[in-house]
Structure 1
Amino acid sequence: DVLDPQIKIVAVTHITGFAEPNFQELSEENRKELESKGVAIFTGQHAFGGIGRSVRNKFGTYQVDEIIANALKTFGQGTKVAIEIAMMAADAGMVRTGEDAICIGGSGKGADTALLLQPVNTMNFFDLVVKEIICKPATKQV
């Protein structure tokens, strides 16, 4: 059950504390299983969250990052997630910018969207190229 070593797979998780303080949603058992199959795991702050979300929670006003996230959600939650994790993985150096990658996203109910894109670092968001929508739901899922 080992994945093809020629294909690099990066799993992007929520930050520890996303669901509740000091809790990581990816169990240690699942992390070990993925890593044993050659999957690299990245845990980090959402590209479209973080400080902007803190400002919204504290002061009730949206920042640019969350406005962009909500605009991308018009194509469905999975589209927003696929683009976001591409930038997060690029920022961590786990995928190369300017090279094709297939990014899979979804919602808390599972993955439903796959995009062929060229990742960029978050600071270069407007240079990101979505080359192909491989699949996405016909109706918007949030």
Structure 2
Amino acid sequence: MARKFITYFDKEGNDYTDELIMAVKDKLEVSGNIKRILIASSSGESALKLYGAVGDCVEIINVTHHMGFAGPNESDISDDMIEKLEDVGIKTYFGSHAFSGAARGVTNKYGGYSPLDVVADTFRMFSHGIKVGAEISIMAADAGLIPVGEEIIAIGGRGHGVDSAIILTPVNAKDLFNLKIKEIIAMPRD
């Protein structure tokens, strides 16, 4: 048996990015076996902050919105930021969202819900950031950026900044229900 602590924030949002990163840094210091962190950062700012706190002790992969999310042929992250991230060894991945992607196009046109909407809403029962963490782990696994079956930290939020972090064992999308969340490091209560 192990006793572990979860950091709870009063509400979701970017007000807690710095505190979340410190909670992740603390977890890295005691865990010793985490080799990779995924962070959802549409602008790249949170990924750069994470690097400032943990440096080169783990591989950091930034997962951002797919091309066209902000508008046709548009990216949320600037070329300058991608270069800054690359300069410190952070890869940036653009990809369709695992829990919406093409299914969102169908529901936008015809209405209704896809089964993945139910999966996403189930994760949102914890927090939007927990949903994002699970989602980006599947996206990165499907892209071959992280191995399946190896515990990682996944960080997410809603809009700007990050407010949730989990330790999980990622899977490919075809094995969605084999994804295992091992620990919640931090999340908003409201």
Q: Figure out how many residues of one structure are paired with residues of the other and give that number.
A: 138
Aligned to 2:58: 7
Aligned to 2:151: 100
| Structure 2: distance between partners of 1:136 and 1:95 | 23
- Asked whether the equivalents of residues 78 and 106 of structure 1 are also in contact (C-alpha less than 8 Å), the reply is yes
1:101 Cα deviation from its structure 2 partner: 0.2
Root mean square deviation of aligned Cα: 1.3
Q: 2:73 aligns with which of 19, 22, 36?
A: 22
| Structure 2: distance between partners of 1:49 and 1:128 | 17
Instruction: Give 3-state SS (helix, strand or coil) of 1:3's partner.
Output: helix
Give the aligned residue type for 2:118.
I
- The alignment-based identity, stated in percent, is 43
Give the aligned residue type for 2:181.
V
1:3 Cα deviation from its structure 2 partner: 3.0
Give the aligned residue type for 2:111.
G
| Structure 2: distance between partners of 1:101 and 1:93 | 14
| Structure 2: distance between partners of 1:95 and 1:8 | 10
Give the aligned residue type for 2:173.
T
**What's the TM-score, normalizing by structure 2?**
0.70
Give the aligned residue type for 1:47.
A
1:109 Cα deviation from its structure 2 partner: 2.8
Aligned to 2:90: 39
Residues 74-127 of structure 1 deviation map (CA, whole Å, 9 limit, x = unaligned): 111101000000010000111110001000000103100000011100111100
| 1:54 equivalenced with 2:81 (yes/no) | no
* Structure whose residues are more often helix by fraction: 2
**What's the TM-score, normalizing by structure 1?**
0.93
| 1:122 equivalenced with 2:122 (yes/no) | no
